Amino acid sequence: MQSDTNGVNVKRILVLHGPNLNLLGTREPEVYGRMTLGDINELLRMRAVEAGVDAIDFLQSNYEGELVEAIQKARGRYDFILLNAGALTHYSIALRDAIAAVPVPVIEIHLSNIHRREEFRHTSVIAPVVMGQICGFGVDSYIAALDIAIRKIQTDTK
């Protein structure tokens, strides 16, 4: 939790979207729904404003290294990271190590229930180093993660 120059707590949340999430709305809508990534970001932005979050920033990348760098740069800048790592969830040791190295809590998010899908999707290599995982509720997975992050920030500052 950062403070501004007046000593007021500043709440900042970073939302990271991994590979292929830029295709939401058209990519396998029976699995991922019809909402676009822009629609999801706007819902999160509106919810964050309602809750008094000072800043919510978004990054989508198809490149593992760009997501790793965003996590590393989050130190001291963000109070929480919401991460849908997409396919990187299942094999990116680099993402796992970045999360473990940076003292910013992370909530892992998935639109679909990864445990009810193909066998290779059942394992999350990042799960052991995140605060928790929310999956299977479509866009509500993102909303739930945001609400939890907001409550945690508010609780930690009291």
In eight-state DSSP terms, residue 123 is -
Structure-token pair, residue 127: 């799960």
- How far CA 133 is from CA of 4, 47, 68, 109, 156, in Å, comes to 31, 20, 19, 6, 20
Q: Which of 17, 78, 110, 142 is an active site residue?
A: 110
CB 78 within 8 A of CB 109: no
Structure tokens at 116: 């009810």
**Percentages of the chain per state (helix, strand, coil), in multiples of 5:** 45, 20, 35
Given 17, 32, 78, 142, which residue is catalytic? Answer: 32
17 a catalytic residue? no
Residue 122 catalytic? no
Helix axes 93-101, 64-73, angle to 10 degrees: 0
CA distance 114 to 127: 12
Q: Which residues are catalytic?
A: 32, 110
